[in-house]
Structure 1
Amino acid sequence: RLIQESIERGETPFFVNATAGTTVLVGLTHLYCSRKGLINRSVDLEPQGAFDPIRALSAVAKNYNCWLHVDGSWGGTVAFSENVMKEKDWLDGSELADTFTMNPHKLLGVPLQCSLLLTPHSGHHLFSTTNSLHASYLFHGNPHDLGDGTMGCGRRPDAAKLFLGWKWYGRAGYGARVDHALAAATELTDLVRTKAEDGKGFELVVDPTPFLQVCFWFIPPALRAKMGEKRVKAGEVYVETVSRITKVIHAKVNESGEFLIEYAPLSGIPCFFRVVLNAPTVQKGHLERLVERIEEVGNRIEWAKEELGI
């Protein structure tokens, strides 16, 4: 539809960008707002998760002669997990992409920086033809010199870092890292869901967690009744107040030195805790303690002294 609208405006659409592993959330804002009663209209929108349907997008791109790029910077390296490739359709159709980006320095823990741009079109020659300035004072026709095929010809050899890690850990080692991260995300999601079901003030932004980012809110018992009234009476006030609660707890938890966590904003909904699971050293006990710590900090804060507007 968007491509057709672009053509009707006299434009020439040429590029379709698909995402393989979003870093926050996708397609959730209107769904959340509708579910919480923050907007007074129905919406036909479901959680899209972390991965776009590459195969379907490829068909659209080819139909309109558009270049299909897949941004797998965060999630593309799940390809190392045999379990993911067998059980999930996250990268289905990725072989149809014109270009595919992945950053092993993210999910695989390869030292910064290590970014790959892959293509099935003539391999390195595509990039050489597109990016080369033919600087004769540097390059003299040596086919093994890859510097002329990148926009930053003097950059460090990123691929060598992945090569060495791959040789050391093997596909099985990298795959185990991915599997461990996914299992940890499921464990944390389960912990937060259990707290929510027990009426402890926790709430998942989306359930189940679509990838490795577990996103949730925590509203302390002392504020819960008041916040329930704000949710009904004034959507914008509710969003601002819960965002403030999240930020205050976030700061206190980080100041304690026990954990270093993050929160994230998303248009139309309150800021939420965003815990990204990746490190292979993280175990279930760490996750249990994190949830306990957030609850402890939230319950100990003297909220009457905070400017919450309630």
Structure 2
Amino acid sequence: MPSEDFSRFSSKELETLLGQIYEPLTQWAKAGERHGASAHPNPQAAPIKLLLEEEGCSRQEILQEVEEALRRSVNPWTGRFWEKLYSRPDPVGIAGDIVVACSNASGHVESANPYFARVETFCVRELAKVFGMDPDLSDGVTMPGGSASNTLALQTCLISRFPSFRIEGVAGLYSDLQRHDSIASCAPSERSTGHERRSVKKVLVFASEHCHYSIEQSAVACGLGSSSVIKVAGDEGGKMSVDCLAQAVQSSLEGGDAPLFVCATAGMTVLGTFDDIRAISSVCEEGLTSQLKVEALYLFHSVSKANLAAGFDHATKTLGCGRRPDAFKFYLAWKRHGSKGFGERITQALVQAEDLRGYILLHRDSLALELGPVPSPPFLQVCFRPLAPVKSPAALANGLSEQQLLDACVLQVHCSFQHTRFAVDFAPLPQLGRLYIRYQAQQDIWRLDTVLVNRVSSTACSGFHTMGSLSTRMPIGKISLNLLPMLGTKESAFGKLESAEDYDPVWR
């Protein structure tokens, strides 16, 4: 029998721990693939208890914590987790994650790990080719998400546009502006005399009125302040108006401000809308000195024409020092599936979303559901909601407008799906301010989207009846107090709602 008395930091400890957690992990993933598995953890579970002590614990206790974490987690392996913009993990990515964790490597400099650093550089070049860019004139780094990418893009733009910004910060930025010919004739005293033209111009960022909230956070992080972000109007589908953008940029120039940065969106989170990036780029190039960054939930790349790749070390590309080499996971996934495999998965998801739109349109009357605005071209998101019953007794009896009744019903439908087989989200649509159920098409597996739609239909009908009869399942007073004040806003009311009904297990 081998001795149990070995170091907790040895390869033997690694072998033992990995061996212990392998089965719980794989069994949890397999359990998610069963027909009746819930996408959400058990709502009846006891409160979470966390504990740290002076003395270390046994490996058995570690195993118990791992099993508890899995029980308490949303299981993406169901293929029915449609609430967010991500789905089940890629098995080859998990394998890559294990390698990265085991090597405990950093990819910020080649001296730390030459292989992982080269992998990131290679992936950047290959992505540049995919998007028709010259890999010798392109550069990039792996970021943890879109919010961090937005901040890095704005910081890069500031440093590129204002040489003094890197050394002197915001003071250097305005120092550079003061030296600009366009403000040479502005006396500093004008700022305090109330003249409309300011002696120190304000640096401005332009983004769609439906852009991600991280754009304002990025402006704050860069010292510009949230007021520097100019929101540009869009159409009903959320696409930024190029004419409004051009007018806003021109107006800022006439007012003495400095247009710095335009953020376009490629795949809005609610409708999946794509801004007209080519037209927006033309606005930036027409002597307006603004730089364009594409805020993409589904891709991120530089559009600068400068040779960014020359002479830069990985460590100088971000604010931090060490970085986890996540590009390795992407590299393994690309190698495993190939460019063709990635393309087929995206195509399949697009077809699935289009089929669902067609199903709702074809059965609109029988389902009593309506589609939200569909952007052109349509993408992966499908937004839909119940149709309001004619002269709803619930609306008449409780003084609710038809719109308030519909929004309350959407919230009830969303609530009723908690802890069931399906996980869906709701969102207010651009300009309309009305709530819709949002379905995010994925490339995964089972064709359960029509089952989901039928369930939404039956739940909505039940919801209208419930509100009309003041049933105890969802009393109208609760809706009035907790939901109606939030209708038309972007806040979530679901922290104040309880499950509307314990549905038949066949739907779980």
One-letter amino acid of the structure 2 residue matched with residue 14 of structure 1: L
Match of 1:149 in 2: 317
User: Deviation at 1:70?
Assistant: 1.2
Match of 1:225 in 2: 390
Q: Residues 287 and 50 of structure 1: is their aligned pair in 2 closer, same or farther, counting only changes over 3 Å?
A: same
Q: Is the 8 A contact 1:124 1:149 kept in 2?
A: no
SS at match of 2:295: strand
Runs of 5+ in structure 1 lacking a partner? 26-48, 77-100, 103-116, 129-144
SS at match of 1:153: coil
User: Deviation at 1:230?
Assistant: 6.7
Q: Is 1:259 aligned with 2:422?
A: yes
Q: Give the counterpart of 2:263 among 9, 14, 17.
A: 17
Q: Is the 8 A contact 1:189 1:208 kept in 2?
A: no
Q: Residues 228 and 175 of structure 1: is their aligned pair in 2 closer, same or farther, counting only changes over 3 Å?
A: farther
After superposition, residues 158-197 of structure 1 pair within 5 angstroms as: 158-196=326-364
Q: Is the 8 A contact 1:247 1:263 kept in 2?
A: yes
SS at match of 1:226: coil
Q: Give the counterpart of 1:66 among 290, 304, 316.
A: 290
Query: Structure 1 runs of 4+ off > 6 angstroms?
Result: 228-231
Q: Is 1:299 aligned with 2:484?
A: no
Q: Is 1:205 aligned with 2:365?
A: no
Give RMSD over aligned pairs. 2.9
Q: Residues 159 and 118 of structure 1: is their aligned pair in 2 closer, same or farther, counting only changes over 3 Å?
A: farther
Separation (CA, whole Å) in 2 of partners of 1:11 and 1:195: 53
Q: Is 1:56 aligned with 2:219?
A: no
Q: Is the 8 A contact 1:253 1:297 kept in 2?
A: no
Separation (CA, whole Å) in 2 of partners of 1:51 and 1:252: 32
Separation (CA, whole Å) in 2 of partners of 1:229 and 1:62: 55
One-letter amino acid of the structure 1 residue matched with residue 306 of structure 2: H
Q: Is the 8 A contact 2:427 2:435 kept in 1?
A: yes
1:139-186: per-residue Cα shift (whole Å, max 9, x none)? xxxxxx522322233221122121111111000010011001100100
One-letter amino acid of the structure 2 residue matched with residue 19 of structure 1: T
Q: Is 1:287 aligned with 2:455?
A: no
After superposition, residues 32-43 of structure 1 pair within 5 angstroms as: none
SS at match of 2:335: helix
Q: Residues 292 and 273 of structure 1: is their aligned pair in 2 closer, same or farther, counting only changes over 3 Å?
A: same
Q: Residues 279 and 199 of structure 1: is their aligned pair in 2 closer, same or farther, counting only changes over 3 Å?
A: same
User: Deviation at 1:241?
Assistant: 2.1
Separation (CA, whole Å) in 2 of partners of 1:229 and 1:298: 13
One-letter amino acid of the structure 1 residue matched with residue 382 of structure 2: V
Separation (CA, whole Å) in 2 of partners of 1:156 and 1:2: 40
1:262-285: per-residue Cα shift (whole Å, max 9, x none)? 1112354321000011242242xx
SS at match of 2:264: strand
Q: Residues 159 and 120 of structure 1: is their aligned pair in 2 closer, same or farther, counting only changes over 3 Å?
A: farther
User: Deviation at 1:199?
Assistant: 4.7
Runs of 5+ in structure 2 lacking a partner? 1-246, 481-508
Q: Give percent identity, aligned residues only.
A: 30
Match of 2:438 in 1: 274
Q: Is the 8 A contact 2:422 2:452 kept in 1?
A: yes
Separation (CA, whole Å) in 1 of partners of 2:363 and 2:262: 41
Separation (CA, whole Å) in 2 of partners of 1:239 and 1:298: 14
SS at match of 2:324: coil
Q: Residues 54 and 268 of structure 1: is their aligned pair in 2 closer, same or farther, counting only changes over 3 Å?
A: closer
Separation (CA, whole Å) in 1 of partners of 2:383 and 2:260: 34
Q: Is the 8 A contact 2:410 2:460 kept in 1?
A: no
Q: Is the 8 A contact 2:367 2:454 kept in 1?
A: no
User: Deviation at 1:195?
Assistant: 2.2
Q: Is the 8 A contact 1:239 1:268 kept in 2?
A: no
Separation (CA, whole Å) in 1 of partners of 2:395 and 2:362: 25
SS at match of 1:65: coil
Match of 1:241 in 2: 405
Shifted more, 153-162 versus 202-211: the winner is: 202-211
Q: TM-score, normalised by structure 2?
A: 0.40
Q: TM-score, normalised by structure 1?
A: 0.63
Separation (CA, whole Å) in 1 of partners of 2:332 and 2:304: 22
Q: Residues 20 and 176 of structure 1: is their aligned pair in 2 closer, same or farther, counting only changes over 3 Å?
A: same
Aligned length: 221
Q: Residues 118 and 11 of structure 1: is their aligned pair in 2 closer, same or farther, counting only changes over 3 Å?
A: closer
